[in-house]
Amino acid sequence: MTSLILITIICVFLQLYHYVFYPLIIAAFARFKKRRDSQTQIQEFSVSLIICAYDEAGIISQKLSNSIALDPPPDEIILICDGSTDGTEQVARALAARQDHITVLYRPERQGKSAAMNRAAAKASGDIMLFSDANAIYASNAVEAIRRGFSDPSVAVVSGAKHTKGADGVGVGDSLYWRYEAWIRRCETRIGSTVASVGEIIAVRRKDWRPIPGGTVNDDAWLTLSNLARGRRVVFAPEAHSYEPASADHDLETQRRRRMNAGRLRLIGRAENWPWRYPWPLFAFLSHKVLRLFLPIFMLLGFATNFAVVLQEAAPRIMEHLFALQLAGAALILVGGVAARRSWRLRLPLAAYHVYRGNIAALFAMWDILRGKSYAIWEKPAR
């Protein structure tokens, strides 16, 4: 029974550490960390906004109009829509004909987002390359906020704050998740570097750009890790806001997170992507990103061993308390599942259900890796 108790305690501790203790630890360190100041003038940086689009004819006009209206505007806008078959190129070229600083890149072959980013980056002229998805609408000050993030010359990558819109269960849970993530990224940045970025609004200094390897699914994670591994800083710009609709339903959201988790598993499987020589990024990477991928295993194992212990006579009282805690978590998830289906705005249960679905997606991603599935090119749901 001793070994079962030990396994249970380790599994429960790792869950609590990831979701509660790690955020509290870095929040405490960040509170006493002195802010970095720099004399670099942010106005010196020119910005190339690169928009990656695939079959986005229904939203590309809104995205380009939003990009043109940014204050200050980017110095150039490059839209790359390789492989699109729905008229995205034609819609974009009609608008670009009236704007000298918009360039549209298109070729019939679709090779994935990372290949598109590489091709667009080769055409960009800005000191800073800001990458965006077609359905991400920026706040008017986004370019200024991103520029400000590069005021420290040690910074290679700056990522903004992602917001999802939607009043249903997916939207509520997703919105709470991104607020939680933003808090963690803010604390990590205050300490030194964040280890998480979002592809909807991510910028890289030109001198720090390296072409993304073929087959990479998580371009944002690769840009983050590859620069951390070289000793460069990655920071969060909380004033740079990006808004996009939440997934239409939980099944689509699970598919999205399954694809992203599979991409992360492939990234962490390559030793050169790890910041081995830098203690803080390595600690944050293990705590924030790596552990999250394997939490479902600890959840299942911890529940099973805990259940096996409480079934035995003279089980320690602490094990009964831990089992009650896990049952309470399961009950919260069940309530969240019902709330999601009936559109009840119960924030805590919906957040718990969102986390649960994310862990299910991580398990599916592990299966995808084992059977060699690649998501470098994937079928996008209709918008």
DSSP line for 13-28: HHHHIIIIIHHHHHHH
Residue 273 · residue 222 · CB < 8 Å: yes
Phi, psi of 27 (to 5 degrees): -65, -40
Q: How many CB atoms lie within 10 A of CB 195?
A: 24
Q: pTM for the full model?
A: 0.91
Bond preceding residue 275 cis, omega within 30 of 0: no
Per-residue pLDDT, 363: 95
Domain ranges of the chain: 1-383
Write the DSSP string, 142-189: HHHHHHHHTTSTTEEEEEEEEEEE-SSHHHHHHHHHHHHHHHHHHHHH
Per-residue pLDDT, 39: 47
Rounded mean pLDDT of the chain?
Answer: 91
User: What Cα–Cα distance (Å) separates residue 200 from each residue in 131, 159, 291, 316, 370?
Assistant: 7, 9, 24, 49, 29
Give CA 334 to chain center in angstroms.
26
Instruction: Name residue 32's amino acid.
Output: F
Per-residue pLDDT, 380: 64
Per-residue pLDDT, 15: 95
Residues of the chain scoring pLDDT < 70: 34-43, 166-171, 248, 377-383
First to last CA, the chain: 53
CA separation for the pair 379, 97 (Å, rounded)? 30
What DSSP state is assigned to residue 130? E
- Residues 51, 56, 58, 59: what is their CA dihedral angle, to the nearest 10 degrees? -20
Which residues are CB-neighbours of 55 under 8 A, at least 6 positions away?
84, 85, 86, 88, 380
Sort strands 233-245 and 137-138 into parallel, antiparallel or unpaired. antiparallel
CB half-sphere exposure, 242, CA atoms < 13 A: 29
Residue 383, token pair as written in the block: 């918008």
CATH superfamily of the 1-383 domain? Spore Coat Polysaccharide Biosynthesis Protein SpsA; Chain A (3.90.550.10)
Instruction: Name residue 154's amino acid.
Output: S
User: What Cα–Cα distance (Å) separates residue 165 from each residue in 18, 65, 242, 245, 354?
Assistant: 26, 19, 11, 5, 15
What DSSP state is assigned to residue 198? -
